[in-house]
A = this chain, B = another copy of it.
Amino acid sequence: MDISTMPRSYGVTVPQWVFDELRATPDTLSTDEERMSLVHKLAARNPAEGSGGPFAALVVDTATGEIVSAGVNLVLASGLSAAHAEIVALSLAQTRIGGWDLGATGAPDRELVVNWRPCAQCYGAALWSGVKRLVVAGAGPELEQLTGFDEGPMREDWAEQFHGRGIEVVSDVLREQGTRGVRRLRPDGCRAGAHRLQRARHHLAEARSVTPAPRPHPTPGTSLPPTRAARR
């Protein structure tokens, strides 16, 4: 075959505004709340910057509070559906330390701080990254109901599966701030996901031969395309 048109590489670059926010941040963030507060700030700004959905993530040295990397959802900016905030932050951290295992022998314990429970993809990404701790503002269907985003099929025992692999899960850190930030986006920032959820519901309904659930956010006007992957 003609290989001249075959793609040979891909990449993701974090926009400058993220570093502008980081410059104004203390060198270390001692508490879960301080870490989550920065995550919420980045997540809230991201849709307005047009990079992707309202999600951000940090990799932090658990003991010292040093920020190893900061990611936001860059699906729109990068054109890659996998560029969710968690994968961006984890990949940047691994680039910084020069290896794929954030939990390698002798390394300090590192954690992933993110503004909601990871989706189906990032759930697995967190599992394989080597982080020892996952800190989320919230978990459960609340965000899906607010945003209309489909987070994918998760197991009921998702947190236990993390624990079983040596990863501590801490939830409900500045939870109210997280849902408040997302609620502010409706319907402009989130109708995208509503379309997507509607499409998923329609498919599921067809598969089960039942009536689809009503469309969650029928209001016109959107600042994000009607996308599946733009959610993070």
Contact = CB atoms under 8 A, between A and B. Distances in A.
B11 A12 contact: yes
Contacts of A12: 9-11
B10 A11 contact: yes
A167 B166 CA distance: 33
Contacts of A231: 128
Nearest to A2: B27
A213 to B, nearest CB: 13
Nearest to A163: B207
A27 B6 CA distance: 12
A129 B79 CA distance: 11
Interface in A78-121: 78-83, 87-88, 90-96, 98-102, 119-121
Contacts of A96: 5-7
Interface string A4-43: 0111111111100001001101110000000000000000
A230 interface: yes
A184 B199 CA distance: 43
B125 A121 contact: yes
B203 A164 contact: yes
27 contacts: A1-B26, A1-B67, A6-B69, A8-B13, A9-B12, A9-B14, A75-B100, A76-B100, A78-B100, A79-B94, A79-B100, A80-B91, A80-B100, A81-B90, A81-B125, A101-B229, A119-B124, A120-B120, A120-B124, A121-B121, A121-B122, A123-B124, A128-B229, A130-B229, A153-B155, A153-B161, A165-B204
Given A1-B67, A10-B11, A82-B82, 10 more contacts: A1-B27, A9-B14, A10-B91, A10-B92, A82-B125, A82-B128, A121-B127, A123-B152, A153-B155, A154-B155
Interface of A: 1-3, 5-14, 19, 22-23, 25-27, 67, 69-70, 75-76, 78-83, 87-88, 90-96, 98-102, 119-125, 127-130, 150, 152-155, 157-158, 160-161, 163-166, 199-200, 203-204, 207-208, 227-231
